[in-house]
């Protein structure tokens, strides 16, 4: 009996709720598709299609189009984004065009480009206040 049995019916994993991690030092180019979420701390050039959340970490850099349910930018992203919800954190920068339903940009978060609202009306704009503001 060998390690591999021709009679075995091997099926791919059906767990699509996990998060794929692209670590610092990794460089990937091309079209990427994810059933779950993805956290990027490496460099990605190309289009990303994700059913759940794309997070660009502090060390992450993305150039291309990102399509996802939710996008969180804490590093650098350039290109296009198409999502329901986008969040640009205080360490994040996005350059390009975002098509969205809801957006949050924290203080020190940077956005340069165009915004397109999917629904034609503003659903929710959140103002994030810093702790050094007075209660006047």
Query: How far is C-alpha 100 from the geometric centre of its chain's CA atoms?
Result: 13
The secondary element (H helix, E strand) that includes residue 11 is none
User: What is the pTM for the complete model shown?
Assistant: 0.77
Are 106 and 130 spatial neighbours (Cβ–Cβ below 8 Å)?
A: no
Question: Residue 119's pLDDT band (boundaries 50, 70, 90)?
Answer: confident
pLDDT score recorded for residue 96? 96
Question: Residue 130's pLDDT band (boundaries 50, 70, 90)?
Answer: low
Instruction: Give the model confidence (pLDDT) of 1-35 as tens digits.
Output: 444 445 544 443 444 568 999 999 999 999 999 99
State the sign of the Cα–Cα–Cα–Cα dihedral 88, 80, 67, 50. negative
Instruction: Give the model confidence (pLDDT) of 29-59 as tens digits.
Output: 999 999 999 999 999 999 999 999 999 999 9
């Amino acid at each position: 009996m060998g390690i591999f049995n021709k009679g075995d019916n091997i099926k791919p994993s059906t767990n699509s709720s996990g998060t794929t991690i692209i670590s610092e030092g990794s460089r990937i180019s091309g079209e990427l598709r994810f059933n779950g979420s993805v956290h990027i701390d490496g460099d990605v050039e190309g289009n990303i299609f994700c059913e759940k959340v794309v997070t660009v970490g502090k060390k992450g850099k993305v150039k291309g189009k990102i399509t996802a349910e939710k996008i969180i930018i804490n590093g650098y992203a350039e290109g296009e984004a198409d999502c329901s919800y986008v969040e640009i954190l205080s360490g994040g920068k996005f350059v390009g065009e975002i098509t969205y339903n809801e957006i949050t940009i924290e203080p020190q978060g940077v956005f340069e480009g165009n915004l397109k609202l999917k629904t034609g009306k503003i659903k929710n704009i959140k103002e994030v206040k810093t702790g050094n503001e007075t209660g006047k």
